[in-house]
Structure 1
Amino acid sequence: MLRAEFGRKAHRAMMLVTLGAQSLVAVPVHAQAVPDDRLEAPSASLDLPKDLTMFGKSDPNVRKATAIVNGAVITQTDVEQRLALVVLANGGKVPEEELERLRLQVLRNLIDETLQIQEAAAKDIKISPAELDQSYARVAQNFRQTPEQFTKYLAEHGSSAASIRRQIEGESAWSRVLRSQVQPFVNVAEEEVRAVMKRLEQSKGQDEFRVSEIYLPASPENRAQVEANARQIIQQIQQGGSFQAYARQYSEASTAAVGGDLGWVRLGVLPDELSAAATQMQVGQIAGPIALPGGFSILLLVDKRQVLTADPRDSILSLKQLSIAFPAGTTQAQAQQKASTFADATRGIQGCGTVNDVGKSIGAEVVENDGIKVRDLPPQLQNLLLGMQVGQATPPFGSVTEGVRVLVLCGRDDPQDASAPSFDQIMSQMEEERVNKRARTYLRDLRRDAVIDYN
């Protein structure tokens, strides 16, 4: 188990797409004609008229609509299949009391998605089936599955390929709408870019933060309820829920589509309330709900570094690991005794050249790992290894269930100072921020003008 865990990144991106659904269309089954003589007996016993006229219509294959958006139907099946994706993204760990709140949010997302697809169609923008197939195959590949295997996997968990394909269609179509209707009208002057570059040079060495957010808008009337919802979201994330999945479902910020990721920012560009919270946070910590004018934010501090300065945690290490496992039934006292013997044997390691011999003498497994970045190791080991010299070993660490191990530092390549982003990179980022801001206004106007019938 240790061999599998060692060298695995501590922070892995959630690859599951958690938005999108497609209405299901029922195909009627036409019955074959039945000879009249086979109808005579039931007709006589039930006194049924020979010439039937149906005054009502009932089709068990038709799903009841949850909402009709400008004539487009969103069914309960669509909502449930989308909800199943959200549950999957959270490892299947969503309490019952949370599901109803998620259903409402999923419906809102489906409405926005429908409006985006409709707007794209109005602008003669369509995503071809071939493009959808390619994108769906890439999502399946993230799960190391073929499209066919992934489709079966989704069905087994209450969702469908149609749900993800609908999301892909919505995001792709909306992206093209923005490129054609918004981006051409966004301008960034060269003077603005050069001013940013100058500020970057002046801020060299200052702290920079990689943060993710979930922004929940609130009015004076519903502020208390929104704050309570934010606290529930935080509780679910702390219990193992995916921050990225909740950001996609709940956040009203433009970063929702990327799981709330704000990228690397300096405190000066954040609202004062968020800056104050970020300075008090440790990497991996969640803060909130943070009151802002117009709503609340939930922050996740993903990482921290200094502007244009080499980060020691980007050092690349070459390591050797010695480990021993404890037999089933080992008590804490027995484990402590074996760990002490293991520590005595590894304390005398003098360079990586002796690791294999030491491991053989005490029956320890030796694993070599090159190209390990410090920041990808558990936080408890990062500072420890950064303070070690080549050839030194860490103190033993582990547990009764997972055994005990030691890491020996065999080499370290220190990073160079980070270079400033280029003129084109800064301009591209500024343009993207302005496009996202206009996109929010665009979608708000689509909501305002839409005809939506709720059921």
Structure 2
Amino acid sequence: MRHILSSVAIAATLIFGAAGPTVAQNPFAPVIYINDKAVTRYEVEQRMKFMQILGSPADQAEAEDALINDRLRIYAAQQLGIEVTEQGLQAGLEEFASRARMSAAEFTAALEKSGVEPQAYRDFVKAGVAWRGVIRQRLLSQISVSDAEVDQEMKRQIETPIISRVLLSELIIPAPEGQEEAAMNRARAIAASQPNEAQFAAAARKYSAAGTASSGGRLNWIGLDNLPPALRPVLTNLSTGQITQPLTVPGAVVLFYLRDKQGNLRPGAKEQVLEYMTLRMPSAAEATQLAARVRNCDDLYVQAGSDAAPMVNRQTQSQNAIPALIATRLASMDDDEAGIVNYGNAADVVVLCSRQPALLARAQQDVPTTALPDDGVEAALPDTQGIPNREVLREDIYSRKANAAADAYLAELRADAIIRRP
């Protein structure tokens, strides 16, 4: 979502231009020192303009904060002996400009028209390139993603409904020629205030040009498929009660507030696959005594003894294929828990090894099954169409961990730095 919004905001602001802050008497006077490295007033003003083009409010405190972080990123790279080559910097400039569907030269020229010097752009990208080098050298070797973490994330996604419709409120701010900047600034201010539903409705009544203004911008339920494809991920990634960043359309700036969203589980998402063990015993008393000694699935073979161990039946089945009495007993059991099913003249010791969503079991492609032939488990599992790819999820988890580690390291650098004002 961040890339979608940033590309829209970048392109729109480069067309309409960015507001310039008032130039101070001495623009090159230091305003902050970070480990004795100065940040000048001019750099702050340039970063404010640049941030506005990127779709962030042109706030001086935020600009100073961003420049402090960039100085610390460069400092960390220098400490590790990491240098940003001209080739590496140029690659970074091209990659960033591509988000606005421009070359680096085109993006630089457009920035200059909006009052942003090429050096401000180069410094911003250089800090990012240097920081990636720091992350690779210092942090990535410490990050790993286990199969259990991938399973947990797959389970979460499988059990998360697929959004099919959304309940929105809209706020459409007119942006006639010459007033685009004012409309964008107003939209940014509304979004930055993180309004609740009542506050958004009040803003819609006051500023919106849409026919829904009188009702606070409230729309009826809208099917997700009826919305423009580029807008769908923006809305589905919102949580209920959140607002989009300003979106530009010809002649207007648009904000959406998500009041609610609904969806359906994937087919088979509620179905479970259970791995369990059973052993028939002559009486309930003997079964109860054995079950009390069992600590986990593999332990059943040990506790049953060498004579009875070959009679243990271990299998993996979909819920609807498990005999009713055993399925009912398993329903209340935890992994590696043992219990009994009493038939009067005999009893089964039952041990639950694991339970998992059938879709997850299918996606793993290595579902454990009984050694007996033709157990029918594979046929009982649902189709995996639309299930997240394990390697894609692994990469996503890895990226999240890397970002979290990078944020933590930057906070550590900041805590250790000497930051002062003249």
Instruction: Place the TM-score, normalised by the shorter chain, in its bin.
Output: 0.3 to 0.5
Task: Output the TM-score relative to the length of structure 1.
Answer: 0.41
Task: Output the TM-score relative to the length of structure 2.
Answer: 0.44
